[in-house]
Structure 1
């Protein structure tokens, strides 16, 4: 019989709707039930494409005796971390503080007052590798709750007090009266010191930073490209190019269908963890497009376009948004058992190549993609790579082989897809697709970005400029947006306006950012991850560090800065500068965990530059000036394009940056500005390019 999750909209929660565990969604009613029964709460947090979440579900939550014990002695609450990042953040902080590590599934035991007292992640069904079994954990917690309730309460209270007394890692400066002072914006020395730290962590042999496992450092790469554009640093560009090439040639990149897996389990980018996340691919699509813009790299162009095409082909929903993720696991082709194995959809054996391509082409493909009899993955299968810098097959043959393999792969059982539309990640996708479409003359990609933006306005945004975090099948969920939703959606809208010239997207971004200033900003300029009127948890989350995506804090700084450049708004620029104060402390210490903040800092230090292009929208010269501006590598540059003023009394322009701009000798013109102070306008694209390439 379905449990209470059957009425939820989260695909992750629905995966557990048929479990024998009597799950509750996170709700006051669940904790009321725990108080009524006098039992603790098991909080289990995961997400739909999480491999070990699936493993623990099969081993424990689908097991009748385990479920029976849970139902008798606990109230069990299941949370989708992608739907409720606030809950995930608060309890993950407690898990990491107590155990020194974290991950998903996250397993936390709570009092009926939602206070945590015991923590873990994945627990196996039987003891192994020094870990107790899940049943042992449950029995131990039950005994402690029954026999030592007062001690459990003291532990829980101490944990909550410790969390509430924690300050931000970088520290908030104090004023002369001892109160919180406004953080100071970063200087030119801060990104330089961060670059030195990245140089020490850089893997000069295999690309990337640190050792295994390796995650795509998309935000770090964006910082490096912006730093090189502002300063001319050869070291920054070399690290970015080497890392992008290593990833693009490795198994972490889908050599047939485009798109990147979540991470590589090894240090050489060979064997991925196969789940594909929307946010990774949106961020990396934009990075590779920006790398092409900076260098003209053919590899970067191909990867940017293939990743964009992957997003539209594989991740787009019927409503025009983008789904959250593709699972790592799928059924083994031709097996018939229904058993799901990680990577089964993506890997190949030599025999499988021969079956699809024939002997001769299979031999070429095996050499080209690094497929060997021993394999790079399990049971003799190989992850496709491009291990050699020299092409082994001519372009026509490569295209034919890839098309045939891709068609054959389409016949395999597909990985599951989490169709949940997350506002923040769709904002990232809008920015990536709009810019990639503009750079490579792909209006279909720009249209896909516009469709997603329309969905966010129609479905996720209410009349008070408040966002819902998620939607499914065109219906908004009930959970409030968090800071990253407002920031990333605003970022996407501003990028879309720069490409399309439609000022309404600047207006929508302004509404969202005004909500950030009112509901997410502390008096000293620091930012909270949840609004001041959001559901109260045991701690209001506040984290400036970037992880798999830009933190809400640094993303808000970037969007606020860009919006100020479009509108001349001093309050928005000042808010961005205060938010970037965190970069002064964290940049030199932990540059990989504040990389988006460093990228935004590069924009701040460069201006950012503002380009107003004025001319009839269908005039070729307007289009040429607009394209020249979009292809500039100036960090954080904003572009507005619009019709020349008609001269009518009381005429309003859509974007303030265009106000007062006129044609030059009756020809379309471009104005390059900083803080709304402009150079002489030009009608010549070459001159515009020269104005935009000067380094600060």
Structure 2
């Protein structure tokens, strides 16, 4: 018989609905049972695309013997970390304090008051590979609760105090020494992999905030090594197996240092953040290979990860038919059979490293060991001819792959991750002049504002199958506000800037700490938990405070609002200790700090909407990498946005020609023709 999870909407929770474990979802019913029966809580946190979550479910949660013991001694609660990142943050901190490391599946044992006293990640069902068995762990926990309860409670009290102090951040530093960006760049240089790109060794993650910071640093300092680190990383990832050479899009991370063998799950947020990186690289270098990655990744999201209602789905699993990566790997026999032409098939296998022995468990993950130009030279053909031949071959294989059993997909729509993808589509559409990407961004933004907002105008965090639920977190507000700002700059539709302002006002009202600065992760009327966190460190996604500070700085500088700028500064000061000690771990906050402290140019394009050349001028403006420039436009009508009226007042085309008005450091330069301004941009390479 299904357990209580059958009534949930989360695909991850539904995966566990037929377990013999008597699972509860997190909620008042479960918490009250724990209090009434004075039982410890077994809290299991994971997500649908997590390979080891599936393994632990099959090994332990489908075991009748283990389930019977859990049901007899614990109140068992299953949580989707993507639905409840607030719980995940708190209890992940607890596991890291207890064990020195963290990950998923996360297994935590709590008192009925929700205080953790023991925890870990994956355990096998019985002792193996030097790890205790889950059967041993749960018996030891029951023994401690039954026979040494006071000790367990003391442990939980001490741990909870630590969690509460972590959540509020340290106040040791209130000033930020100069040179934090340079310090972060030097730290990246120390861990940079000159041969394969990226930072550190295996496993290797994209570190998108680092790439963003390096490209910004290059524009400011012309430090060639910053540019090399960023572009080498982007090139090697796009050539490696972490990139899907047939269908587009990136996997979560590489298990090796060469980007060859991915953990095959695909996450919406990784692809959004990486599209932003490749857009910046394309705008800076104009290299076609970056445009290709942008298009293929955006097309993958539109094709496979877009809900019919307009939002974007969350993840695709690593596994299909019970095997990790089965959907993505190939053999030479399959290639030859599908392509038919022996010469083309041989060439494809050579280009994409498909061999009889394989590079992954007897099969081959497609990857480029060398750039296509080098391979073409060795084959005695042109890069253009080889690229066309390989593109045709890839299409044949892609079509054949569509007939395979696809990995499972988590089709819930998260406001925060959608914000990241909306921003990516807005920037990609503007940079490439691709209307379909701008339309996708606008449609998703309208979906979130229409379908994921409650009657009071407050955001809801998650949506699936027609129903939105759960109060939104700081990430939802800050990521979506950033997306709305990007949509305004991409389309000059003033409604998006107004929505950006509205979202940040709600965040200020309900999340901002008026006493010590910075934003809490949860709202002031959120469910009371054992700690209320402020996140300044980046994880796989940017910190909510870092993103909020950057949006406040951009918005404040564009519309001339000192109050927003003061809030941005106070948010950064609240994270000063992090920037002082570990700037590389808080890239988003560091970007916000650098942007706030630096001279920023406000550029207004004034033109007649009927001028046929306006589209060309906008496209030229959007083709440049301008990390310290904010864009606005006036098309011959009075601004309908209260927030833009001051900026746009009096700005109009001169002598009927598209005109640029540029201001910096409270000084406005004389208006110049858009053609002249854009020519100077192209000549200066900035």
Distance 1:51 1:323 in 2: 18
Give how far 1:130 is off: 2.0
Deviations 1:135-173 (A, max 9, x none): 111111112212222222222122112322447665354
139-148 or 118-127: which moved more?
Answer: 139-148
Give 1:365's aligned residue: 348
Which among 251, 259, 263 is matched to residue 261 of structure 1? 251
Does residue 134 of structure 1 match 2:126? no
Give how far 1:500 is off: 1.1
Which among 511, 516, 527 is matched to residue 520 of structure 1? 511
SS of aligned partner of 1:406: helix
Q: How many residues align?
A: 674
Give 1:63's aligned residue: 63
CA contact (8 A) 2:545 2:571 kept: yes
Distance 1:38 1:584 in 2: 42
CA shift in 2, pair 1:504/1:591, >3 Å? same
Q: Which has the higher contact order (CA 8 A, sep 6+)?
A: 1
Give 2:102's aligned residue: 102
Give how far 1:96 is off: 0.3
SS of aligned partner of 2:320: strand
Distance 2:143 2:577 in 1: 45
Does residue 25 of structure 1 match 2:25? yes
Does residue 481 of structure 1 match 2:472? yes
Matches within 5 A, 1:540-551: 540-551=532-543
Which among 208, 216, 235 is matched to residue 225 of structure 2? 235
Distance 1:129 1:608 in 2: 56
CA contact (8 A) 2:420 2:480 kept: yes
Give 2:650's aligned residue: 660
CA contact (8 A) 1:319 1:473 kept: no
Give 1:565's aligned residue: 557
Give 1:344's aligned residue: 326
Give how far 1:400 is off: 0.9
CA contact (8 A) 1:229 1:695 kept: no
Q: Structure 2: which 5+ residue stretches go unaligned?
A: 377-384
Give how far 1:83 is off: 0.6
CA contact (8 A) 2:209 2:587 kept: yes
SS of aligned partner of 1:594: helix
Does residue 210 of structure 1 match 2:210? no
Distance 1:651 1:299 in 2: 39
Give how far 1:688 is off: 4.0
3-12 or 615-624: which moved more?
Answer: 615-624
Distance 1:200 1:692 in 2: 34
Deviations 1:465-495 (A, max 9, x none): 4211111123212x11111111000000110
Distance 1:463 1:403 in 2: 46
Deviations 1:372-409 (A, max 9, x none): 2221111x111100111224461221111000010111
Which among 336, 350, 353 is matched to residue 354 of structure 1? 336
TM-score by length of 2: 0.94
CA shift in 2, pair 1:412/1:684, >3 Å? same
Distance 2:575 2:160 in 1: 28
SS of aligned partner of 2:24: strand
Distance 2:167 2:391 in 1: 55
Matches within 5 A, 1:153-232: 153-166=153-166, 171-173=171-173, 183-184=174-175, 187=178, 189-232=179-222
Give 2:367's aligned residue: 385
Matches within 5 A, 1:247-646: 247-331=237-321, 340-358=322-340, 359-378=342-361, 380-389=362-371, 390-392=374-376, 394-477=386-469, 479-522=470-513, 523-581=515-573, 585-587=577-579, 589-645=581-637
Q: Structure 1: which 5+ residue stretches go unaligned?
A: 174-182, 332-339
CA contact (8 A) 1:465 1:512 kept: no
Distance 1:491 1:497 in 2: 10
455-464 or 429-438: which moved more?
Answer: 455-464
CA contact (8 A) 1:66 1:135 kept: yes
Deviations 1:628-650 (A, max 9, x none): 33233221532112322469xx9
Give how far 1:666 is off: 2.5
Distance 2:564 2:345 in 1: 58
Give how far 1:239 is off: 0.6
CA contact (8 A) 1:275 1:326 kept: yes
Give 1:334's aligned residue: none
Give how far 1:506 is off: 0.8
Distance 1:184 1:635 in 2: 25
Q: Kindly report the root-mean-square deviation, in angstroms, between the aligned alpha carbons of the 2 structures.
A: 2.1
TM-score by length of 1: 0.93
SS of aligned partner of 2:314: strand
CA contact (8 A) 2:167 2:535 kept: no
Distance 2:516 2:31 in 1: 35
CA shift in 2, pair 1:48/1:505, >3 Å? same
CA contact (8 A) 1:614 1:622 kept: no
Give how far 1:238 is off: 0.8
Distance 2:641 2:268 in 1: 41
CA contact (8 A) 2:603 2:660 kept: yes
Deviations 1:545-564 (A, max 9, x none): 01101010101111111211
CA shift in 2, pair 1:95/1:345, >3 Å? same
